[in-house]
Structures are given as C-alpha cells and as structure tokens.
Amino acid sequence: MATEQAPGVAQSKEIEDLRLRGRQIGEFLMVYKFALEELTTKVEILREEINYRKGSSPIEHVSTRLKTMDSIVAKAERRGIDFNPVAIAANLFDIAGLRIVCSFISDCYEVTEMLTAQTDVKVLEVKDYIADPKANGYRSLHVIVEVPVFLSTGVRPTPVEIQVRTVAMDFWASLEHKIYYKYAKDVPAHLGDELTAAALAARELDEKMQSLHREVRVGRPRWV
C-alpha cells in the first residue's frame, strides 16, 4: 500500500526541485556569459591597441547579448531540440552574441580577420550577408566562433555568434527589428518595401563612404 506524503513534505520537495533547476539553468548560462566576457576583452584590447598605434580605431562600439532561458526554450521547441543542456549546446550557437560596429565596410573584414586569427578562437561558421544580403536587404557579417572557458572543473569550449557591421547597417537592422517586433513579424507590404529601399540607400551610403575613405588614405584628389 502506497504511503501518501504529507502536504508539507511534497511542497518542500517541489521547492527543492525548483531550486535545483534554477541552479542548473544559472550554471548553463554562466558559461556563455564568461565566453562573452573573454571575447569582449579581446575586442577591447584590439580596439585600444589599434587606436594607440594609428591614432584611431575602426571599432565604433561593441555590445553583447545573452539569450534568456525563455528565448532558448522557445527556439529549441521551434527546432525540435530536446530541452537538455547537452542537446541545446550542440544545436544552438547563438545563445551568446557579440556585436561589433565599425566605421567602414573594409573595417568589418579587417577586425573579423584580426579577431579570428587568434589561436584560441576557433571559427565554426561564416555567413557573409554584406557581400550577399538577405532578401529584405539585411547586411552584416556573421561569424560563429568557439572560445575556451576555463572553469574549476575544466575547459569548456563555448560558441558565440559575432555580428560585425557598419554604423549604417546597424541603424537599419535596429529599425527593422523594432518594426518587425511591433507588427509581430506580419509587416504591412508597403513598410516592407520601404525597408528594402532603405537598405539599398544604406548600402549605397556605405559604398560611398568606403570610396571616400579609400581616397583619403591614398591621398589622391578626386579630380585626378
């Protein structure tokens, strides 16, 4: 005959289970937080070093993003991934995100090359949406890298998604995100067309600024 648990015992077990689950979630996300901090430090070192040597830096600003557990769960469900740390770590590579905003198109590639050339940064995937924009006009350089996180229990290679883009690309992407969020991704056709046109204008501006930048560096007058 089964013995029933007293209400207080059942409640205590439930609270303990919740505490354990919260601890596991915290430890899972902590590793990605540390990976972000390591990469951010690398970028800031590059930024300061280039600025010291050349008097200016190609990096305008840097930001980081760590997905919430709700967002991770939602994405795992959409992709049919089992909700456990091993499966999530093996299939989701954008839990931790680092965004680097540069002045010019050429800077995006140069900064990416300098960062990924470091021996402890392993490149897993590259998607060049600058050379080959998305259908809606989105442009950015996406690189998924793996960096070692040194814990008391050992080394944890951890993936981080890096987005490298110009100021114009970043401004457009920010506006596009706000519009898609407001309309829950069901954007009216005329706004979609306007966004695409704005993306083209941003691209033309980037190319013009790149041309001027190149001209200034070479020191050749436009009329020659």
Give the whole-angstrom CA distance, residue 157 versus residue 145.
10
- Identify whether the C-beta of residue 207 lies closer than 8 Å to the C-beta of residue 131: no
The strand pairing partners of 62, in sequence order, are: 100
> 163 vs 4, 14, 19, 129, 158, CA distance in Å?
55, 41, 35, 10, 16
The token pair that represents 44 in the structure block: 């800031």
Which residue in the list 4, 60, 110, 161 is annotated as catalytic?
Answer: 161
Give the whole-angstrom CA distance, residue 146 versus residue 39.
10
Give the whole-angstrom CA distance, residue 139 versus residue 174.
12
Give the rounded distance of the alpha carbon of 168 from its chain centre: 17
215 belongs to the catalytic site: no
Which residue's entry shows tokens 């648990």? 5
The strand order across the sheet containing 59-66 reads: 59-66, 96-102, 154-166, 141-151, 122-128
> 44 vs 61, 83, 96, CA distance in Å?
10, 35, 17
Residues tagged active-site: 161
